[in-house]
Every structure is written in structure tokens, then in C-alpha cells.
Amino acid sequence: QLQLVESGGGLVQPGGSVRLSCVASGLSLDYFVIGWFRQAPGKEREGVACISSAGSTNYADSVKGRFTISRDNDKNTMYLEMNSLKPEDTADYYCAADAVTTVEHMCASSHHDYWGQGTQVTVSS
């Protein structure tokens, strides 16, 4: 059984940067397609960024050029680097993993095998 734990969220000023981390345990992330999702109050859950075991990535248009997803298999951890943050980025952020999928299908769906508990990011002055 794979367990995922997010950390790194908090209060950030507009234009600032935050790095979210997701630590996996129980199984190796080597065998999973992984991604970050977010849900703002009153909005649908949105796929933000996804990455395959080979390094292929997929980003939502709203974050492309500002966010970067990465994975460190030696540490069994994935990251989301968020730069040039906007108030619209305020949301609960979740990491997720699927054993068999593509990065395109991963980011297009909100139904996945494993989820973390979430971490809150608030962008405000």
C-alpha cells in the first residue's frame, strides 16, 4: 500500500515562490505516474502538473511557465516548484499516484489510486 504525505504549504505574497513536497512510503514511486492537483473553494478539482517515471510532463495551461513538477526516486519524493504566485493559485494542493496511466490521462482525471491528505497554499498580501 502506497502512502503519500504533502508538506510545504502556507501563506505567500503575490509574486512569491513555494516548493511543495510529497513523501511516499510503503512502495517505490518508480512504478507510478504521479501528479499534483488543487481545489479552490467553490471550484472543481484541477490537475496542475503530472510526471511519468521516464520524466514526461503535463501542465495545466493556467500554471505553465510558472510551476515545475519533479521527482527524486532516491528520496521517494516528488515536488512542485511554484513561482510568480497569484491569488488565483490559492487552494488545497494534493499529490496523487496511479500504477498504470499516461501523464495526459493522469492530469485529465480526478480519480486516482492513491492520494495524500493535502496541504493549503494561500496567496495574499
Q: Radius of gyration of the chain from Cα atoms?
A: 13
- Classify strands 67-72 and 91-98 as parallel, antiparallel or unpaired: unpaired
pLDDT of residue 73: 87
Please report where in the chains the cell 503575490 appears, as a residue.
14
pLDDT by residue for the chain (125 residues), tens digit each? 899 999 999 999 999 999 999 999 999 998 899 999 999 999 999 999 999 988 999 999 999 999 999 999 899 999 999 999 999 999 999 999 998 789 999 999 999 999 999 999 999 99
Burial grade of 115 (CB within 10 A; 0-12, 13-18, 19 or more): middle
